[in-house]
Chains A and B, each alone.
Chain A
Amino acid sequence: MSNTRMIELVGVQKSFGTLQVLKDISLTVEKGAVVALIGPSGSGKSTLLRSINLLTVPNSGFIRVGDHSMDFSSTQTLPRDRDLAAFRARTGMVFQGFNLFPHMTVEQNVMEGPVTVLRTPKAAARDQARALLAKVGLADKAEMRPDSLSGGQKQRVAIARALAMKPDVMLFDEATSALDPELVGEVLAVIRSLAAEGMTMLLVTHEMAFARDVADRVVFMRDGCVVEEGPARQVIEQPSHPATQAFLSHFHNGLA
């Protein structure tokens, strides 16, 4: 295994019925790199992100995250529940709709992964949860229920919940798209601080200015293919492919 590449995808394909959503995607992400996936809706970027932690199981291809890999090119059988779970435990994911557990307090949300999946003793998991909540600026919300929080606070709890598993990589699926504009900043600030700590991250985002400033690389997708990828500033400010240029022209107001 190459120890500088944290994520490696080779020839990943996925179809839903007759619709081919991912057409032979290959992608690598270096350890500590931040990669932004951009593209029009329906381009397959969320499906690609979800196939990295196997929430969507590809029809064929090879996927490696850290030490865990799965090969879908030969076998037709679905991976076993246990193997899927072990694979997913090494990645953290943050969703557009937060998906916090409404029947638990904020602190219990953050403790849930370590306690249930990693069998961490409760006291240790609670200490860790408190530390993570402090890190995302929500130490005082530990005992609250998720439905009493604002969208931005919910999403920061979701980030803390994912970090509690000490993942190799973090995946963000349009993490700010459901937020009111004034709440976007607080979530982006947390993501920015994770980037500064060297967390390997893959983000599906519509925040072009953020992608340009925080991501190392940008990958532009359309119709299930990677059309263009390169250093973030270069792809966003001087895209070479006409499709990328056309897509980015919609955002120029926000990039000033």
Chain B
Amino acid sequence: MRRRHFLSAAGLATTAVAAAGCSSDSGSDAEGSGGSGGSGGGSLVVDNAFDLKTADPARSFELTGAMLNKQLYETALTYTGSDVSEPVAQVCTYALSDDQRVLTLTIEGEHLFADGSAVDADDIVFSYQRVQGVKGNPSFLLDGVTVAKVDDSTVTLTSETPNPALPYILPNPSLGILNSELVQANGGTTGPDDAAETFLNSTSAGSGAYQLDTLQVTSQVVLEQNPSYGGEAPAFGRVVLENVQPATQKINVQSGTAQIATDLSADEVEGLDGGRTAVVSTASSYMIFAWFNTDPAHGGPAANPAFVQAVRKALDYDALLELTGEGSVQPGGVVPSQFVGHLESDPSNSHDPAAAEQLLAQSGYAGEPIEFLFSNDVAVSGVQLQLLAQAVQSQLQAVGITITLAPKPSATSLDSFRSGRFQAGLAYWGPDFPDPSNYLAFTPGENVGLRAGWTPQSPTAAQVMPLVEAARAASGPDARDAAYQALQRQMNVDGPFVPIVQPAQNVVTSSDLRDVALNPIWTLDLAALS
């Protein structure tokens, strides 16, 4: 799961400035602000609330890092714009064996690193093995995969088990292809002793549209065009990524100081000057969900499946969508609406207070307080979890469920959630890669499932487990679509997770920018803008 950290101090600021910013009119002017305004001069200024840690692809797994590395490194496969339904060739074409265990990558065309050398199979093998070996945040992407060179332009990735998701994983910018000779000359290895991170934070070693000029992970990153880039030259010769909190982003993009603001909430984009700015909006791939521990020792009354069913019926999803702002959608299951295998809707998760009360009576719940954990310093695409938790508390109270809110800073709430010993809570999940298999983490015995005490031995897992295996084994888009939908329908009956909302993702740009496509993995491909 990717992280989303927002300063609560900035959150406070956000609210106030957003209110101020919303009242702005088209007559506002900041020409004297010292900014050059507009998108001329070959520079693109992007305001982003940084969660950046490093520019080393093998260690980077944050949103800002993904956007940055997308510009610096080419990947074997990629996605076109915001369409993540089918990976396409960037450096390589691919073929997946019938048993879905062997993926063959073949380099197509000439791809040059910034120093003029050509990308070859050794670079791909080194880059992938390095991701596996340094044991950084993204190393799990290639767990159980053996990478081998066949010839100078061919590489095979062999998985221990059928791995139909692998082509969907490879476009991740963490799997960017590095100039292996250059990186090895600067301390790079394919093991934990790798020492190339410092080098990669000062000099990019990729074949992407841009190369790194300067990197200050807490404040600013500057990119310059890669003269050797083989694709269509980007419209902007220089890109400045600035770490700016959302409230200030709004004013900057309205004034022309920045051309893109990436972190505005649905409320903040309301009232923007349509003449100067354009809003690109879509449902984000973040899924906010409630969870209830299925282990009676920790979940207490919340461990009863009828109790969770009552919660599903007690929630007024439309009211919650109104609260989270325009563009938000209710996911039918845990898989977000833009991925293969998603559910449009499911009657199990629909508002029916009478049914909720009936189910509650069946569960034997007698009004015991349910401790409800959430991160009180996190906003997911502008949606404060604190507000959402309060709304859930109020709606559940209406059918007789007593929720005791347990807010904690994310640093400690994650610990409690991951312990698997907390009673219930509100959490969120961002995709590691745009494939429904990423959401098998929510099934019994898996990473997220265990946090809710859901094991393959749980009574509620009996009907789910065969569907999990069927989803894993399914091959081809239609079969996978059907298998994952069936799995989610059953999870909506027996599972401890209640999908609540996918908040809207909004990117505001100056009105003269074109071809702005939001991607759930790297947010924006800046080289594709015109």
| B partners with A | no
Residues of chain B having any CB pair with chain A under 8 Å: none
Residues of chain A having any CB pair with chain B under 8 Å: none
